[in-house]
Structure 1
């Protein structure tokens, strides 16, 4: 897989335990649909949201722990330079949060220059990872690819194994870049490499005792596998490979349930995602069961995107031709969207309600 990645020319998957990003079902004729039915998730946009990139920067960040939190344990003549690098990295992350992307890029260039001068490989890797995420956010996919590959090369040259979570995380991001560029062979190869490698790793680590491998590391590896399944499922759904997408989402949901619990925000999102796939396949009864449960849990846990899940549920009800209940659920979704000031969702729900009215009258 690594050879294939190096050969490939230069969408970032939000790496980590994301709890946002629940999907707003696409309107008629929009998004991914199966045989003209079902609603695709709101993931077909041209690039990730700033929140998605920040999730990639923060969650599963094996580098942030190494580069920042372990600073106090390191000594030597490069301590002052290291302090400066850490300051620059924090400043760059703050600029990204503020949406000041050009300034963030300039700061990161300063940081990586100092890291190279001081020979701090850990800082070089972490900075390249941040620069790659930023490049993707700015739509610079070729640059993002090269930076991820550079970081991977440093890790592998330092003796890191190909099944290390850091390598898998970057491989997933590269697969997502190829997906965004419609390089489908490389995208499929990348996703499958990540999933197969993590499947083998999870199986090998399953029976290891706590003193050999902490439970937290086992859980992190399973969650990363869930993330890969989720990302691949989105890709398959977008290309209407619905049975395969369903299998990916079912596995991702199972992992999230087992590791994080039924009410965890990410579990709720995946439940709604699975409902979307089932709806797209025309399996409306099964879709309704999952969609209704996701909406109930979202309400119970005060999920930030409960209105999105209600919208998805209403879409399923519309496809079941339960127009009366669909209208009620759409109204509830619209009220919540208005309370939260989500203008994009408001507009979309209104479009869906108009579609409902057309179907009701034509029926």
Structure 2
């Protein structure tokens, strides 16, 4: 049994919060809980905006789409047979996407009562899982942890194998919670266990491949958090390959992962590689219909060009990022572009 899960099942309160990244709370932004902003305010190491802030913006469950009604075992027969439960769950998900968190919680408690009345084990599991996700949205980490531990206990009590995708999925969430709390050792154990388990199944089916991409992405963010940029690059590249396979080369998610690869290369002081990744992200972003987040990529590219001493191009990128931010009402783009322009001004005054 996964060591971290054993510890959490016995002592779910063991983790303590210890994370200083610039966090904006909710599944909406990096499951909104995980809006890491890689930053250092000095000119020599400017802050770069991590696109993980956006990856989950319109896709609240995972970086790749996983069917919300089949992930824990629902099938079409269940939808027809338990229509009231399914409709209540769908309403809860819709409320969460609209950030109506109190209403979403009410709907989930109603759904849980229905599932219990129907003695629908899959429904109960799914309610707990959604409640855990909602607790992430509102940054109630202890509550989220307890709910996910309950899901894990229910799965294992029903004889679900430890290497089942559902167990890996929940274990991944628990590892993320430990990352956001005091115990990085448990987080590291959890992520590595998830990678070890998913590696056996990654080519088995679409869900397994998707989960493989998510684990690599999340583990890369953890590695960046502890400063292991070289290893983070390897895992981000794996996540990017999966993203391209499922969403194509020209997608917003691919663009944002390229942005992350650029940031990570920058932190590894490989400025040429960082510029290449971000130039590729900009080229891809220009082909997208929705350019809401392209401004941040332009601003990041501007900061890297500034670092390389290419001031004219850097200013051009930052001003374009600002215009895109204003046009699409993206505060992050405007803020990042303003920061870039301030750094250019400081450099010019030297």
**TM-score, structure 1 as length reference:** 0.81
RMSD value, Cα: 3.2
Query: Does 2:3 correspond to 1:3?
Result: no
Compared with structure 1, are the counterparts of its residues 319 and 181 closer, same or farther at alpha carbon in structure 2 (3 Å cutoff)?
same
Give 1:112-261 correspondences, 5 Å limit: 112-202=112-202, 205=204, 217=205, 219-261=206-248
Alpha-carbon distance, 1:38 to partner? 5.4
Alpha-carbon distance, 1:295 to partner? 0.7
Picking from 18, 30, 37, the partner of 2:45 is 37
Alpha-carbon distance, 1:330 to partner? 0.6
* Contact preservation (8 Å) 2:258, 2:277: yes
Which residue does 2:278 correspond to in 1? 291
Compared with structure 1, are the counterparts of its residues 247 and 39 closer, same or farther at alpha carbon in structure 2 (3 Å cutoff)?
farther
Which residue does 2:250 correspond to in 1? 263
Compared with structure 1, are the counterparts of its residues 132 and 160 closer, same or farther at alpha carbon in structure 2 (3 Å cutoff)?
same
Alpha-carbon distance, 1:40 to partner? 4.2
* Contact preservation (8 Å) 2:56, 2:63: no
Using CA pairs under 8 Å that are at least 6 residues apart, name the structure with larger relative contact order, 1 or 2.
Answer: 1
Which residue does 1:281 correspond to in 2? 268
Compared with structure 1, are the counterparts of its residues 14 and 270 closer, same or farther at alpha carbon in structure 2 (3 Å cutoff)?
farther
CA distance in 2, matches of 1:139, 1:53: 18
Picking from 306, 327, 333, the partner of 2:294 is 306
CA distance in 1, matches of 2:301, 2:241: 21
Alpha-carbon distance, 1:287 to partner? 0.8
Picking from 55, 59, 71, the partner of 2:65 is 59
Query: Does 2:321 correspond to 1:330?
Result: no
1:149-177 deviations in Å (ceiling 9; x for gaps): 21122222333222222222211111111
CA distance in 2, matches of 1:198, 1:68: 23
CA distance in 1, matches of 2:332, 2:79: 45
Which residue does 1:351 correspond to in 2? 339
Aligned length: 332
Report the structure, 1 or 2, having the larger helix content: 1
Which residue does 1:208 correspond to in 2? none
* Contact preservation (8 Å) 1:40, 1:237: no
Residue ranges of structure 1 left out of the alignment (5+ in a row):
31-35, 74-78, 206-216
Give SS of 1:240's match: coil
Residue ranges of structure 2 left out of the alignment (5+ in a row):
14-22
**TM-score, structure 2 as length reference:** 0.84
Alpha-carbon distance, 1:230 to partner? 0.9
